[in-house]
Structures are given as structure tokens and as C-alpha cells.
Structure 1
Amino acid sequence: MYGNIQKNEAMRQADEKFIQFILSKGFTRETAAIDVIKRGWKFFQNKNYKTAMERFNQGWLLDPENADSYRGFAVLAAETNKPRTEVEKYFQMALTKNHGSTQAYADFGWYLITQNELDKAIVILQKGLKADSKAYNVRSTLAFISYLKKNYPQACKWAKDAKENGDKLEKGFLEDMCQR
């Protein structure tokens, strides 16, 4: 998927062999995709981007409806300074898929912050809360945007909500926002 490579017959046969191997081990394509994508994130965290991309591609091959492969493509594209249009294309694709986490909303929101698109980030993050009222790190990202906009009461509210939701907050952020 990533890179829009035209596959030749040998590549298509290798893909089919991989899928059959997964199925022969008793996995469904969907459960195997989840596992492969999780491995991709471990490689990403270790900055092994090539192998991470290979795992995200395998996840896509196994389950093209899993949002987390597209999220992986988007985050890797952002991390490796690909054009903004490419990054946003993959985030938008992630947001249309039925399987996987809603983490793409938080990641897309964070990416938009780096592009100084705060209002657009708010829209994406609000959609994330509608899609999943417990979406991880959406509230903490909204708190950070409120801080950037110097709306400290709103930042305090979002930070409190983030803490209650179990989102990641920088140490002292909640207290700092609520004392301003």
C-alpha cells in the first residue's frame, strides 16, 4: 500500500504465500493484522522506520480496513518529512476505516499542531471524541491547544478531563494550567 508500488507477479505470489502462512497458523487476517501492526509500532519507537513500514504494510495486506495501518503510514510519513499532502492523505484514510483504534484522531491533531493548524486540529480532535468518548490523548491534546491559544481555563478543564481519562499529561501541566 505505502508508496503505491506496482506489484509484479512474484510480489503478488509472496503476498499470497504470507497470507496463507498466517491462516495456516490458525489466525484470522484481522487478528494477525493487529499483531503485526503492534510490532510495527515497536519498530517505530526504536526508530527502525524501514521495518516499521514493512509491518504496517503487512497489516494493511492482511486487513485493509484496519485504521492503524494507515495511521502508521501517516505517522511515519510525518516523521520522515514527507509532504504534508501525503501525511494528511493517510490520516484521512485512517479516519474512514472501521477496524482499529481511534488513536489516529489524537495523532492527526498533534500533527496539525506542528503545522500551526490549531483550529483544524480542534475539529479533528472533537470528531475523535464523537467516535470514541474515551479516545486516548485527545483531551490532553485539546488541553495543549488551549494552552497555545492562551485559554488557560479551557486548558485546565481539558487537562482535568485528560487526567480522569488516563491520557498522558506532562508532569505539572494540569497544576500549571489550573493556577493561571
Structure 2
Amino acid sequence: MYGKVKKCPGQIETDNTFIKSTQHDFKSRKEAAEYFVNRAWGYYYHNKPDTAMMRFNQAWLLDSLNAGAYWGFANLTGQQGKFKESLPLFDRSIALDSLNANVWESASNSYGQLFSNTRQVEYLNTAIKYLRKSVALKPSARAYAALTAAYTYFAHKDSAIKYLKITDSLDKNAINPQVRKLINSNR
């Protein structure tokens, strides 16, 4: 989306040249977009956010309905500490592909950070809602651990204990020791 800045003629020409260059290597723009999303994630996980953003933008240029591009934009925006700004990008990704458990989990991180910064309970409730959606789609120790930690903010720890047991059944090392200590001190 290139920062939503109006492009000059030279940038538009560069975009058109790029799009044309992908026609030789891919059957469709959609396929090319998937390729660039996958490359972007590689850069993201190797802590090269500028290159990751460039690749996500290339994917978006090829297919503006690619859910992975929006997910990438959202993660990179959240990584910059712009949690509120990341939410519409997560929402767009979810609207395009509501069955990706990882997007729901990633979005919950932004809501969790907003709760941490503001202590507004609606952010915590939304983080929990998104984590529950994530584990319903694809159970993972990491998501259950986040759900367990989220429930520790409530006075009654019944849900935290419930999700601690589920997390432990998947991976006992997934729970932060501080979260475990907090839950066990209230029993």
C-alpha cells in the first residue's frame, strides 16, 4: 500500500514494470503475490522489517485482496508499537481469510498491548475473544499460553487454571514461569 501516498509517474512506471516482470515466472498475479508474501515472512523472521515491508507491498500490488499481505502489514505496524493502527489491517486480513488461526492470535497481541498500555478492559476482552477464536481454529500451546496469561488479569482465576491445564497438556514449557507462579499463588 506504500504508505497510502500518491505515486508519481515514475513510481507508477516502476510498478508496471514489476508487475510485467512477474508474468514470465508465475501463472497469475495471485500466485506471484503468494510468492512475495512468503518471501516477506522470511525477511520478517530474520528481523529485516524494511525488506519484509517491501515484499508485502509487492504482494499487495499484485493482489490487493491477499490476506497475507494485510497480516504482514499489521504485524510490522504492531512491531513499531502502533498497535491501534495495526487493528484495521488485522481486520482486513481476517475479512479476507477468517480461518487463519495465526492472524487471530497476532491480532490478539495488539489488543493485549493496548490493554497493557491503557488498562481498558475492552481491549483485554477482545484479546481473549481473538485467542479463543485462534485455538478453536487451530489449538496451539502458544495461543493457549497467551489465553492463560490473559485470564490472570481477572480476580477469579478459574479460566486461567483451565487454560493452564490445556497448555500443559500440549507443552509444559509454553507457560511463562511468572504466569504459572501467579496462578499457583492464588489457589
Q: With the length of structure 2 as denominator, give the TM-score of the two structures.
A: 0.74
Give the distance between the partners of 1:73 and 1:15, measured in 2 at CA. 19
Give the distance between the partners of 1:31 and 1:39, measured in 2 at CA. 13
In terms of Rg, which structure is larger? 2
In the TM superposition, what are the counterparts of 1:152-167 in structure 2 within 5 Å?
152-162=157-167
Deviation at 1:129, TM superposition (A): 4.8
Deviation at 1:94, TM superposition (A): 1.6
1:25 aligns with 2:25: yes
Q: RMSD in angstroms over aligned alpha carbons? A: 3.2
1:142 aligns with 2:139: no
In the TM superposition, what are the counterparts of 1:18-167 in structure 2 within 5 Å?
18-82=18-82, 84-98=83-97, 101-116=100-115, 117-129=123-135, 132-134=137-139, 137-149=142-154, 151-162=156-167
Give the distance between the partners of 1:43 and 1:26, measured in 2 at CA. 21
Report percent identity of matched pairs.
Answer: 24
Q: With the length of structure 1 as denominator, give the TM-score of the two structures.
A: 0.77
Q: Which runs of 5+ in 2 are unaligned?
A: 116-122
SS at match of 1:32: helix
SS at match of 1:24: coil
Deviation at 1:2, TM superposition (A): 4.1
SS at match of 2:150: helix
Q: Which has the higher helix share?
A: 2
Distance 1:70 1:2, change over 3 A: farther
Give the distance between the partners of 1:65 and 1:136, measured in 2 at CA. 30
Deviation at 1:133, TM superposition (A): 4.6
Q: Which runs of 5+ in 1 are unaligned?
A: none
Distance 1:138 1:62, change over 3 A: farther
Give, as a single letter, the amino acid of the residue that structure 2 aligns with 1:41.
W
